[in-house]
Amino acid sequence: MSLVLTTLAGMYLGFDVSMWPVLIAIPTMIILAVAYLIWVEFIKKTK
Amino acid sequence: MIGPADTIWFWIIIVAYLAMLAVFGIISRRKTKTITDFMVASRSIGPVLLALSYGATYFSAVLFIGSPGNTWALGEQWIWITFTNLIFGTFFAFLILGNRTRRMSNKLGAITLPELIAERYQDKRYIRQTSGLILGVFLTIYLVSVFIGMAVLLQVLFPGFAYAFQVAVILCGIVSIAYLVIGGSHGAIMSDLVESIIMLVGVVGIVVGGLVAVGGIAGMNANIVADLANNGVADAFAADNAAWFIFPNLMSIPMIGMSLVTAFGTWGSPQMSTRFFTSKNRKSVRYGLLIACIWVAVVSFCAWFSGAVARGLSPTSTADLKAWLSLLCGGDPATMAKWTEYVIPWALTNPNTIYPLWFTALFLGSVLAASLTTGEKLIIVGSGSLIRDFWQKGVGRSRNMSDESALKWTRMFIGVIIVVAMLLTFLRPAFILDLCMWAWACLNAFTLVPFIAGLYWKGGTKRAAFLSGVIALAVSILWFFCFYPKWSPGLGLPLIPGIFTKTTYIHEFIISQAVAIPAFFIISFFDKKKPDKTFLEDLFKYVKENTND
């Protein structure tokens, strides 16, 4: 999801291709943080 | 240029800001009765305040003023630092250190990092008093850079006044003393909430405002391409203009080095790790992780990207900036050599600026907030380390100083540290920023490895913790004096010249840690005096317990 969103954002905004990885990497970290929180607080707890 | 008549906006922002700090200081006074309240905010901080306090302490004025200059001159790839700051400096810092640090400090009753390390290794004297002294000394040196950054900016309040810098330094000192002595950590963390929002608004505003003015990313890129071409051979990318936009390129090695230093350096920095001491429970750290990641991602990205936005404001931006600076400093060669530090001041205050005056004033507030949020932690941790670790539990332990007296002396030493930092700031040494980076490496040299290893590994011994710290500190000091290539002429330094240049110098942080890590494990392995197993079993059982306290 992060990949698709940032690629679309990059295409729309016109960022140079070489800078796309960082624009993918940053939101991916945020998504990882959300996933971690959901895992430890909701999924792991109910197991 | 900013004239005397324009300073009204600056005064409005500064007075409102100081009033806010005073209110927080007074509110916090009621919550500050013991030394634990004062140093670690009663271990009562929830996820939002923990995350914002962590982020605000992480970034000082250097990110807002120094970083954009790197992007401008060395290419868009510097935005990658956001990623390492996010993944290692924030995400893994919370994940690996957060809850273990909180629980271990709670179990051991530690309120400072030296105290945590000393109690963890059951050291009665050497680790505690040595690291207490080192922290007190080097955090004060570090504070000088924060004061210089603040004072340089606050000079705009006194246009045309010959002693503007000195008055600004005194203003910084008085503000810091006033609210820190009263409110301690409670006041500092409460003010972090508002300060982090001001920082966010300022740095996002500079990027969004710039992009809107030049017609978005496409307009910005077109101006940068034109500026690169106009700049000719004076530019680092003269041979290949397109390389400015590309990662990796010829400037990638310094960027990778700095991104790792700024990411991992937070792990052993006492002002950062003690953020986790203040957290209330496990949820504070877990939810705080997400909030901190979002805040760090936005603020760091915008700060590094603002260098690109500033360069993209005009097709002749580099020439415009140098002409503006030459007028400002009267062509002073020393100032002109540091033109990249004036990227953001130029963008905000040049005669054709696209930013309104009120926004410039708001951004000044952002930079002031960034400085104070870092400076206040340095002051509290430095003062606490000197009184609590060096004196109360160290050199002066035979005097049996009570916690009440320690609190009074810690408050008093906040004033002492600020006054010493102010006096050093008046001297304004030329290479102060690099000196502070060295101070930062020295702090980590003594604390990083014993701290992190102590959270996870039972095998570390107190001799290993102490000796690896001493060795790493010695390496850090010697490396700086022997090889640092930017010493001022006439000092007879570096002792071994010609090995490194400005672009190939390996930071003393990396070297000292490369020595400290093997030293710690080798000494622990051969040390016959092993730690007490019962104590460690009990401690690690508590740290690993699956409770939400």
d(CA B82, CA B55): 12
Quick check: B96 pLDDT over 90? Answer: yes
Closest CA to B124 of B334, B394, B524: B394
Q: How confident is the model at residue B431 (pLDDT cuts 50, 70, 90)?
A: low
What pLDDT is stored for residue B121 in this prediction? 94
Rounded Cα–Cα distance for residues B543 and B429 (Å): 45
Q: Give residue B39's identity as a one-letter amino acid code.
A: M
- How far is it, in rounded angstroms, from Cα B469 to Cα B368? 34
Task: Lowest mean pLDDT of B23-32, B38-47, B305-314, B458-467, name the range.
Answer: B23-32
Backbone φ, ψ for residue B142 (5° rounding)? -60, -40
Among B389, B412, B428, identify where a domain stops: B428
User: At residue B237, what are phi and psi to the nearest 5 degrees?
Assistant: -110, 30
Tokens of B92: 């893994």
State whether B325 and B238 are in the same domain: yes
Residues of B in contact with A14 (CB under 8 A): 216-218, 221
Q: Are residues B411 and B461 in the same domain?
A: no
Same domain, B275 and B327: yes
Between B264 and B149, name the one with better pLDDT.
Answer: B264
Q: Residue A46: what pLDDT?
A: 63
Please check whether residues B314 and B334 belong to one and the same domain: yes
pLDDT (tens digit per residue) in B188-218 = 888 888 889 999 999 999 999 999 999 988 8
Query: Rounded mean pLDDT of B76-97?
Result: 91
- Check CB contact under 8 Å for B216 and A13: yes
Question: Do B300 and B364 lie in a common domain?
Answer: yes
Give yes or no for residue B435 having a pLDDT over 70. Answer: yes
Work out whether the CA dihedral B82, B84, B87, B91 comes out positive or negative: negative
Residue B36 lies in a domain: no
User: CB B124: neighbour CB atoms within 10 A?
Assistant: 13
Chain A residues whose beta carbon lies within 8 Å of the beta carbon of residue B304: none
Q: How far is A8 from chain B (nearest CA, A)?
A: 14
Is residue B37 assigned to a domain?
no
Q: Is residue B273 in some structural domain?
A: yes
pTM summary value = 0.89
Report the gap between the CA of B142 and the closest CA in chain A (Å).
Answer: 30
Same domain, residue pair B410 and B473:
no
Whether the ω angle into residue B494 lies within 30 degrees of 0, i.e. cis, is: yes
At B482-491, the pLDDT tens digits run: 988 877 777 7
- How many domains does chain B fold into? 2
Predicted pLDDT at B547? 67
**Residue B179 is part of which domain span?**
4-31+42-428
Is residue B380 domain-shared with residue B494, that is, in the same domain?
Answer: no
CA terminus-to-terminus distance, chain A: 27
Examine the predicted complex and report whether its ipTM is higher than 0.95: no
Over residues B118-156, the pLDDT tens digits come to 999 998 778 888 888 888 888 888 888 888 877 777 776
Task: Say what the pLDDT of residue B167 is.
Answer: 85
CATH number for the domain that contains residue B234: 1.20.1730.10
Please tell me whether residues B345 and B446 are part of one structural domain.
Answer: no
Q: Which residue has the tokens 């309040």?
A: B157
Structure tokens at B209: 């405002």
Q: Read off the tokens for B296.
A: 């760090």
My answer on whether B495 and B375 are in the same domain is no
Q: Judge whether B220 lies within some domain.
A: yes
Q: What is the mean pLDDT of residues B505-534?
A: 92
Q: Does a structural domain hold residue B373?
A: yes
Q: Where are the beta strands (DSSP E) in B9-110?
A: none
> How does pLDDT run across B381-410, given as a tens digit for each residue?
889 889 988 888 888 887 888 888 888 898
- Domain end, chosen from B398, B413, B428, is at B428
Select from B212, B247, B256, B290 the residue whose CB has the most chain A CBs within 10 Å, as the one to mutate to test that interface: B290
- If asked whether residues B273 and B379 sit together in one domain, one would say yes
The whole-angstrom separation of Cα B361 and Cα B348 is: 9
Which tens digit of pLDDT belongs to each residue from A6-39? 555 555 555 555 566 677 788 888 899 999 999 9
User: What is the structure's pLDDT at B223?
Assistant: 93
B286: helix, strand or coil: helix
| Residue B343, domain member (yes or no) | yes
Grade residue B470 by pLDDT with cuts at 50, 70 and 90: very high
In DSSP terms, B279 is beta-bridged to B45
Q: What is the pLDDT of residue B301?
A: 93
> B486 and B417 in contact (C-beta within 8 Å)?
no
Contact B372, B150 (CB under 8 A): yes
What's the pLDDT score for residue A16? 57
Read off the pLDDT of each residue in B258-287 and give the average, rounded to a whole number: 89
Do B362 and B453 belong together in one domain?
no
B484 inside domain = yes
Is the pLDDT confidence value at B164 over 90?
A: no
Write phi, then psi, for B45 (nearest 5 degrees).
Answer: -90, 130
Q: Which range, of A24-28, B358-362, B434-438, averages the lowest pLDDT?
A: B434-438
> Quick check: A14 and B95 CB within 8 A?
no
Which runs of E-coded beta strand occur in B97-234? Answer: none
With respect to residue B142, please indicate whether it lies within any of the assigned structural domains: yes
Domain boundary residue among B361, B393, B428? B428
pLDDT more than 90, % of chain B: 36
B325 and B438 part of one domain: no
| Selection from B41, B370, B21, B27 nearest residue B184 by Cα | B41
Ranked by mean pLDDT, the top range of A41-45, B221-225, B326-330 is B221-225
* Contact residues for B353 (Cβ-Cβ < 8 A; gap 6+): B347, B360
